[in-house]
């Protein structure tokens, strides 16, 4: 499968625990994005990587959130001390660098986080 892959697909965690999600983008894509989608809403931008550099972070990304993309390949999103408000679908997307404006972002199937 050459699409964007996210693991795990589902995660249930107790409040206060740390969780980490992984995203494997399409191999030749240098742009990687994380979005968060709550029930009944559209995805909201969290952060953006170009290769290994994290170039933009949303105000939604509190200090408890950290994302990395070592070596410009896969990316991880960690949430520390989870809160019930963190329950959401976390989507990863990647896109290439050619003709950026009309190049669609390819999304993974997401990781659904439930904080109990």
Partner 1 sequence: AQKITQTQPGMFVQEKEAVTLDCTYDTSDPSYGLFWYKQPSSGEMIFLIYQGSYDQQNATEGRYSLNFQKARKSANLVISASQLGDSAMYFCAMREGRRDSSYKLIFGSGTRLLVRP
Q: 76 vs 96, which CB is nearer to partner 1?
A: 96
The span from the CA of 48 to the CA of 57, in Å, is 7
Instruction: Pick out residues in 73-112 that bind partner 1 (CB under 8 A).
Output: 89, 91, 93, 95, 100-102, 104-110, 112
Closest CB 36 distance from partner 1, rounded Å: 11
Cα torsion through 98, 59, 25, 38, rounded to 10:
-120
**Burial status of residue 30 (CB atoms within 10 A of its CB: 0-12, 13-18, 19 or more):** middle
> Where along the sequence are the contacts to partner 1 (CB under 8 A)?
31, 33, 35, 40-45, 48, 50, 55-56, 89, 91, 93, 95, 100-102, 104-110, 112
């Amino acid at each position: 499968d050459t699409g964007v892959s996210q693991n795990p697909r589902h995660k249930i965690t107790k409040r206060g625990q740390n969780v980490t999600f992984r995203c494997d983008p399409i191999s030749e894509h240098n742009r990687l994005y994380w979005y968060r989608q709550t029930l009944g809403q559209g995805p909201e931008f969290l952060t953006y990587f170009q290769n290994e550099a994290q170039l933009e972070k949303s105000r939604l990304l509190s200090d408890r959130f950290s994302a990395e993309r070592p070596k410009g390949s896969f990316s991880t999103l960690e949430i520390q001390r989870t809160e019930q408000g963190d329950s959401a679908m976390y989507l990863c997307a990647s896109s290439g660098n050619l003709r950026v404006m009309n190049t669609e972002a390819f999304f993974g199937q997401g990781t659904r986080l439930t904080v109990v």
